[in-house]
Chains A and B, each alone.
Chain A
Amino acid sequence: MSQNKVLRIKSLYDIPREELFISGHGLCPGCTAGTIMRMLTKVTGKDTIIVNATGCVEVSTTRYPYSNWLVPWLHSAFENSGASASGIAAAIKAMKRKGLMDKNKDVKVVVVAGDGGTVDIGLQSLSGMLERRDPVMYVLYDNEAYMNTGIQRSGSTPHGAWTTTTPAGKVWRGEWRDKKDIAGIAAAHHIPYVATANPAYPMDMINKFARGLEVLNEGPSFIQVLMACTTGWRFDPALGITISRLATETGIFPIYEIDHGNFRVTFPVMKRKPVKEYLKLQGRFAHLTDEEINEIQKLVDQKVEMINKMAGKTVIGPVA
Chain B
Amino acid sequence: MEKLVSYKEMAPGGIVVNPGNSLEYKTGDWKVLIPVINQETCTRCRICWYVCPDNAIVELDKEYTTKKNRKYKVSYDVNADFCKGCGMCAQECPVKAIEMVPVEVA
B22–A24 contact, CB under 8 A? yes
Task: Tell me which of A23, A29, A38, A67 has the highest count of chain B C-beta atoms within 10 A of its own C-beta.
Answer: A23
6 nearest A-B residue pairs (beta carbon): A34-B53, A24-B22, A30-B86, A238-B87, A29-B84, A68-B22
Residue of A nearest to B55 (CB): A23
Cα of A1 to Cα of B25 in the assembled complex, Å:
41
| Total B residues in contact with A, Cβ cutoff 8 Å | 36
Residue of B nearest to A24 (CB): B22
A26–B27 contact, CB under 8 A? yes
Cα of A35 to Cα of B14 in the assembled complex, Å:
26
Q: B95 near A: Cβ within 8 Å?
A: no
* 1/0 contact string of B6-36 vs chain A (CB within 8 Å): 0000000010100111111111001100000
A239–B91 contact, CB under 8 A? yes
A137 to chain B, nearest CB (A): 20
* 1/0 contact string of A231-259 vs chain B (CB within 8 Å): 00000111111100000000000000000
Cα of A62 to Cα of B15 in the assembled complex, Å:
10
Measured between beta carbons, the chain B residues less than 8 angstroms from A34 are 52-55
Cα of A34 to Cα of B57 in the assembled complex, Å:
13
Cα of A175 to Cα of B56 in the assembled complex, Å:
36
Measured between beta carbons, the chain B residues less than 8 angstroms from A15 are 46, 50
Residue of A nearest to B82 (CB): A23
Instruction: Given A13-B46, A27-B53, check contact A241 B21 (CB 8 Å).
Output: no
Measured between beta carbons, the chain B residues less than 8 angstroms from A61 are 22
B79 to chain A, nearest CB (A): 7
Task: Tell me which of A13, A32, A67 has the highest count of chain B C-beta atoms within 10 A of its own C-beta.
Answer: A67
Instruction: Given A17-B59, A23-B56, A238-B86, check contact A202 B50 (CB 8 Å).
Output: yes
Task: Tell me which of A12, A13, A39, A65 has the highest count of chain B C-beta atoms within 10 A of its own C-beta.
Answer: A65
Q: B42 near A: Cβ within 8 Å?
A: no
A251 to chain B, nearest CB (A): 22
Instruction: Given A29-B30, A242-B91, check contact A23 B16 (CB 8 Å).
Output: no
- Listed A/B pairs (12) with beta-carbon separation below 8 Å: A22-B20, A23-B23, A24-B26, A25-B27, A28-B84, A30-B84, A30-B88, A38-B55, A67-B16, A70-B19, A73-B19, A238-B86
* 1/0 contact string of A19-61 vs chain B (CB within 8 Å): 1011111111111111100110000000000000000000001
Q: A230 near B: Cβ within 8 Å?
A: yes
B44 to chain A, nearest CB (A): 9
